[in-house]
Structure 1
């Protein structure tokens, strides 16, 4: 497993499955079998549409404002907010603000 990762040195890729979302993969299933960890940047109007999978997913919001929906409950998100989605629970994230939203996504077991 990687011992030191410098975020600014990681490549940022467009998440093709989602609207206006760009991701830096910090840890993936290539690194370990327990967790994946991603830095996400979502532009205004961006969205991770309703999604569900076998893993637990936790979002920690760093910048920007928006909404998250987990299990049908709509939640306001801002810096310092943590949102958790259980295994196979529908969840989504929307940037409703006027600036980029930045957040960390942690998934266990790893999704990517």
Structure 2
């Protein structure tokens, strides 16, 4: 019985920009507070036109087996039918991140 291949679109904040990447495997991973993203996919190069944004992402993640993104940086994860174009875009608007730490030093709950 052949299982359907899953493709996930992951959108997250990174250094003031919005990253949109595609991967075949997403999990909560082994690191507390991080989302594990494996098997990143990039579009086929059968077209004459090359997208510079996707090429930049491809070179940035070249040789990466898996990446861990902080949970508070994730905007959304979608399971999609087919892979789209990976891209980096400017973060427009006002986005308020979650607090960086739930546990603060010296805070007691006695």
More strand by share: 1
Give the number of the structure with larger relative contact order, counting CA–CA contacts within 8 Å between residues 6 or more apart: 2
More helix by share: 2
Larger radius of gyration: 2
Instruction: Normalising by structure 1, report the TM-score.
Output: 0.29
Instruction: Normalising by structure 2, report the TM-score.
Output: 0.29
